[in-house]
Amino acid sequence: MNKTREYIFLALLTAFAVLLSVFENLIPLPIAAPGAKLGLANMVVLSTLVVFGFKKSFTVNIVRTFLILIIIGNPISFIYSFTGAISSLIVMYIVYKYFSNYFSLIGVSIFGAVAHNTAQIATASIILENTNIFSYLPIMYLISLFTGFFVGFSSNFIVEHLKKVLNKVNWR
Amino acid sequence: MTKYDKILIVAIVIISLFGMYLVKEKASNYNKKYVEIVVNGTEHSKYVLDDKLDKEIRLEVDEGYNIIHIKNGQVIVEESSCENQLCVRKGVIENPGEIIVCLPHKLVVQISGSHNDIDSISY
């Protein structure tokens, strides 16, 4: 596959991730914890990581957070999503690269969700200069099990389908 | 799903349950409670929390306002101009260690406790 085609694929994936992020903002969650969300965009990021590799998924992820900053226009939530996105991607990359014999995509995604929550709470505690906020962490971990499981489960299908499509256009 | 995925899930469940237990345990050892309202990392006000205190605080921050109500030993954020309304949906808090956060307004309402030894001796 030539470079242009690859860029188009990555651009489409980024657009998809942005769409999912905006969409999940509209879904109210039953639990009132700061930063708790479904992490639907993580499906795209994780699939990109598996199919295209670390560097490209990193780019998709960063472009996504900047686009959401422009669309939703909340600089404070941008700081949280930015630190969360980067740390979760790095953790997912390490787990996927070195421990993929042990963990399926579900495990990788749960690791990512846990890293995301930890980073967000840590950022919040720095911004608010308050360590009591860590008392949210246990409940966030429990939530991240469910969201992480769902994201990993769905990513399996996305990866499978994406590979099929890419084979059709003679990629690699 | 592999065996290690299941181990991971069980481990996280255990860790988070243990964490919740720790938070709860920390809360139950105090006999005097305070409400602290912290805005942007600096303390705005502090009250001794008991059943008699009935106070409504309208808090103006740079980004909008919050209305905090203290009543019957409980604290609630009744109204907020923030968009996600997580602080309002959090509901009431009453035990030390519990916390309401409004991230858009950099507002923290927390309950802290202290051991008041003089009281326990004089009783």
> What does the CA dihedral A105, A29, B58, B30 come to, rounded to 10 degrees?
-70
pLDDT of residue B73: 83
A108 CB neighbours in chain B (<8 A) are: none
A104 with B17: Cβ contact below 8 A = no
Q: How far off is chain B from A43, nearest CA to CA, in Å?
A: 17
> How many distinct structural domains can be found in chain B?
2
For residue B75, the cross-strand partners are: B70, B93
B5 with A33: Cβ contact below 8 A = no
Does B12 lie in the same domain as B45? no
Cα distance between residue A166 and residue B84, in whole Å: 39
Looking at residue A36, its amino acid is A
Residue A4, pLDDT above cutoff 90: no
Does B52 lie in the same domain as B21? no
Q: What is the mean pLDDT of residues A85-96?
A: 94
Structural domains in chain A, CATH included, are: 3-168 (1.10.1760.20)
Residue A46, pLDDT above cutoff 90: yes
Does B72 lie in the same domain as B103? yes
CATH number of the domain bearing residue B70: 2.60.320.10
Q: Which residues of chain B have pLDDT under 70?
A: 27-29, 115-123
Residue B8 near chain A (CB below 8 Å): yes
Residue A80, pLDDT above cutoff 50: yes
pLDDT of residue B105: 86
B89 with A137: Cβ contact below 8 A = no
pLDDT of residue B56: 87
Where in the sequence is the domain holding B15, given as residue range(s)?
Answer: 1-30
pLDDT of residue A134: 84
| Pairs from A70-74 (Cβ < 8 Å, separation ≥ 24) | A71/A18, A71/A22, A72/A22, A72/A25, A74/B83, A74/B104
Does B67 lie in the same domain as B20? no
Q: List Cβ neighbours of A118 (8 Å cut-off, separation of 6 or more).
A: A87, A137
Kindly identify which residue of chain B lies nearest to residue A150, measuring between CA atoms: B1
A110 with B9: Cβ contact below 8 A = yes
Q: How many residues does chain B have?
A: 123
CB-nearest to B2 from A104, A110, A149 is A104
pLDDT of residue A47: 93
Q: How far off is chain A from B115, nearest CA to CA, in Å?
A: 18
Choose among B9, B55, B39: nearest CA to A127: B39
CB-nearest to B16 from A33, A77, A142 is A142
Q: What is the value of pTM for the model shown?
A: 0.79
